[in-house]
Amino acid sequence: MSEDSNINNPESEGTLHESIPVTGMYKDWFLDYASYVILERAVPAIEDGLKPVQCRILHAMKEMDDGRFNKVANIIGQSMQYHPHGDASIGDAIVNLGQKELLIETQGNWGDIRTGDGAAASRYIEARLSKFALEVVFNAQTTDWQLSYDGRKKEPVTLPVKFPLLLAQGVEGIAVGLSTKILPHNFIELIEGSIQILKGEKTNIQPDFPTGGLADFTEYNEGLRGGRIKVRARIEEGDNKTLLIKDIPFGVTTNTLIESIIKANDKGKIKIKKVVDNTAKDVEIQIQLAPGQSPDMTIDALYAFTDCEVSISPNACVIIEDRPVFLSVNKILEYNTKQTKALLKRELEIRKGELLEKLLFSSLEKIFIENRIYRDIEECETWESVIQTIDKGLEPFKPNFYREITTEDIVRLTEIRIKRISKFDAFKADELMRKLEEELKEVNYNLKHLTEYAVNYYQNLIAKYGKGRERKTEIRTFDTIQATFVAANNAKLYVNKADGFVGYGLKKDEFVCDCSDLDDVIVIRRDGKCVVSKIQEKGFLGKDIIHVAIFRKGDERMVYNLIYLDGGSGKSMVKRFQVLAVTRDREYDLTKGTKGSKIMYLTPNPNGEAEIVTVYLTQGAKARVKVFDFDFSTIEIKGRSAGGNILTRYPVRKIQWKMEGVSTLGGLNVYYDSSVGRLNTDQRGKLIGNFLGDDRILVFYKNGEYELTTFEVTNRYEASEVLLIEKFNLKKVVSAVYFDGASKTYYVKRFQIETTTLNKKFHFISDHKQSKLKIISTEKQPQVKAILEKGNETEEHEYDLDMLIDVKGWKALGNRLSSFPIKELTLLESVKEEEPENSSENPDKESDDLEVGTTVEMKIKKEDDEQMDLF
User: Could you list the active site residues?
Assistant: 124
Distance of CA 249 to the CA centre of its chain: 9
CA–CA separation, 486 vs 300, rounded Å?
6
End-to-end CA distance of the chain: 110
Cα separations in angstroms, 17 against 8, 26, 28, 167, 329? 9, 20, 21, 54, 54
CA–CA separation, 116 vs 130, rounded Å?
24
Cβ contacts of 531 within 8 Å, gap of 6 or more: 522, 523, 525, 541, 542, 585, 586, 587, 588
CA–CA separation, 52 vs 55, rounded Å?
5
Cβ contacts of 813 within 8 Å, gap of 6 or more: 747, 749, 766
Partners of residue 871 on adjacent β-strands: none
Backbone angles phi and psi of 6, in degrees to 5: -65, -20
Torsion angle, alpha carbons of 256, 260, 263, 265, to 10: -130
Q: Do the Cβ atoms of 767 and 812 come closer than 8 Å?
A: no
DSSP, residue by residue, 293-356: --HHHHHHHHHHHSTTEEEE--B-EEEETTEEEE--HHHHHHHHHHHHHHHHHHHHHHHHHHHH
Q: Which helix (H) or strand (E) holds 256?
A: helix 254-266
Find the DSSP H helices in 469-607: 483-486
Q: Which of left, alpha, beta for 158 (phi over 0: left; psi -120 to 50: alpha)?
A: beta
Distance of CA 460 to the CA centre of its chain: 29
Exposed/middle/buried for residue 299 (C-beta within 10 Å: 0-12, 13-18, 19+):
buried
CA–CA separation, 188 vs 835, rounded Å?
51
CA–CA separation, 40 vs 36, rounded Å?
5
C-alpha angle with apex 59: 57 to 61, nearest 5 degrees?
70
Q: Give, to the nearest 10 degrees, the angle between helix 329-370 and helix 426-448.
A: 160
Torsion sign over Cα 61, 67, 71, 74 = negative
Q: What is the CA radius of gyration of the chain?
A: 41
Partners of residue 637 on adjacent β-strands: 576, 860
Find the DSSP H helices in 371-490: 373-376, 383-394, 407-414, 418-422, 426-448, 450-465, 483-486
CA–CA separation, 363 vs 791, rounded Å?
60
Residue 414: strand, helix, or coil:
helix
Find the DSSP H helices in 141-186: 165-169
Distance of CA 867 to the CA centre of its chain: 55
Q: State which amino acid sits at residue 163.
A: F
CA–CA separation, 426 vs 563, rounded Å?
116
DSSP, residue by residue, 125-147: -EEEE-HHHHHHT--GGG-EEEE
- CB neighbours of residue 113 within 10 Å: 18
Q: Do the Cβ atoms of 677 and 646 come closer than 8 Å?
A: no
CA–CA separation, 741 vs 771, rounded Å?
4
Tell how strand 807-808 and strand 745-751 pair up: parallel
CA–CA separation, 750 vs 167, rounded Å?
51
